Structure 1
Amino acid sequence: MDVLIQKLHPGLRLGQQLALADSGAPLFSRQGDWAGGSTLHCTAMALALLGKLSNPVQVWRHADGPEATFWDRAWPQYLHGQTLSELASFIWELNIGVRPVTAEGRPAAVLCFCARELARGWPVVVGWRSQHPQPAHAALAVGVEGRRRAQGFSPHALVAA
């Protein structure tokens, strides 16, 4: 029997709004809240899924703690955004025990990479280039959708926040 399945990151709580499983705090903030910083916006959500931030929606409102540290480093890129290589450097420089891994390739290869990383419990920031003025656009992959067949699971799409 061919069944469609969505496998989501274990740090999520489903409902009308995606939330962090541990705290119930909202995960998703509208990109308009972050101006041109879709890479930063996705990174804050990914760090929240990893337990490194408790409030990815309003990091700028914290006077201290990990949210304040994140925002202090993020705000200079707030309006102009980051390239994907700049994002990897940004994550390294946060020095919070998260190691960025990058992968490029054809869509099928990127999908397999994302499915593998999500299965290991790692959120994935997926980026792409476009003709717009922003250096890169990004979305947070929080799951994969695919078909379950007798021989196993075959992913065919990402579930993004």
Structure 2
Amino acid sequence: MGFVIQRFHQLIRPGVYLGAARSKHAVHSQQSRLDSACVMHCLLMVLQIAGVIDDASSITTRRRRIEAMLWRKTTEIFLKGMTFSELATFITDLDCEAHTELLERGSHRNAVKFIEHELSRERLVICSWREVGTLHNHAVLAIGASGIECNQRFTPGALLLLDPAEGPPTAMGTCNAQLDYASWESGELRRYARYTTASETLSVVLNGAISIEVGQPKRPP
């Protein structure tokens, strides 16, 4: 008999307010409805989880080099957005000891395989999806997976996500969005993934991802 379980990245601290292992601040970074900075919001959450920054909302006032670079880049891409290859280059420039693996563009099936593999390596993954019938891409942060465990074997079928365009993860508890990409009964990949938030359900396809290895948690500055 199998059981549905959720597996989170080792640095995630589930609770009333989803947090990071060494931070007293909630992890979620809220995106406005007017900007295209979802990729940067996801990066801010990664860096907070890793302890590189203490609070994503403080980058506008802090004078440390890394916060200054993050704020400057956010203002640069606020309206036009950012590709994953540009993000990989920017992370290298931050010199924060983070390592990336990139799937700039790929089929839905290849993106699923890439994300599953990188999550199994204890990496955080920023992934991109688009709603079926549209061309707009949106970036979200995968912090874990939900799936069936049977005979000590875990078979994932959904991504547990922090979506910067959604509100804090209170209604759904440990995340604010979930992307179901496989059938719970058969384990077969769905043609279209089901994307669920507290307020809506969409049919989407994954089309890119970048994984970030953050190493051992740092003590926030």
Shorter chain as denominator, the TM-score bin is 0.7 to 0.9
Equivalent residue for 1:107? Answer: 108
Q: Is this contact kept in 2: 1:111–1:156, CA < 8 A?
A: no
Q: Is this contact kept in 2: 1:54–1:67, CA < 8 A?
A: no
- The within-5 A match list for 1:111-122 is 111-122=112-123
Equivalent residue for 2:127? Answer: 126
Write the letter of the residue equivalent to 2:5: I
Shift of 1:151: 6.0
Equivalent residue for 1:35? Answer: 35
Write out per-residue CA displacement over residues 51-77 of structure 1, whole angstroms, 9 at most, x where no aligned residue.
222212332221225322322333211
CA distance in 1, matches of 2:55, 2:69: 13
1:36 match: secondary structure: coil
The verdict on how the C-alpha distance between 1:99 and 1:159 changes in structure 2, with shifts beyond 3 A counting, is: same
The structure carrying a bigger strand percent of its residues is 2
1:157 match: secondary structure: strand
Write out per-residue CA displacement over residues 79-114 of structure 1, whole angstroms, 9 at most, x where no aligned residue.
221122222222222222212211254434433432
CA distance in 2, matches of 1:49, 1:39: 16
| Aligned-residue RMSD, C-alpha | 2.2
The verdict on how the C-alpha distance between 1:26 and 1:151 changes in structure 2, with shifts beyond 3 A counting, is: closer
Equivalent residue for 2:202? Answer: none
5+ residue gaps, structure 1, are: none
Q: Is this contact kept in 1: 2:20–2:49, CA < 8 A?
A: yes
CA distance in 2, matches of 1:84, 1:34: 21
Q: Is this contact kept in 1: 2:20–2:48, CA < 8 A?
A: yes
Q: Is this contact kept in 2: 1:52–1:96, CA < 8 A?
A: yes
1:32 match: secondary structure: coil
Q: Is this contact kept in 2: 1:84–1:127, CA < 8 A?
A: no
How high is the TM-score relative to the length of structure 1? 0.84
5+ residue gaps, structure 2, are: 163-221
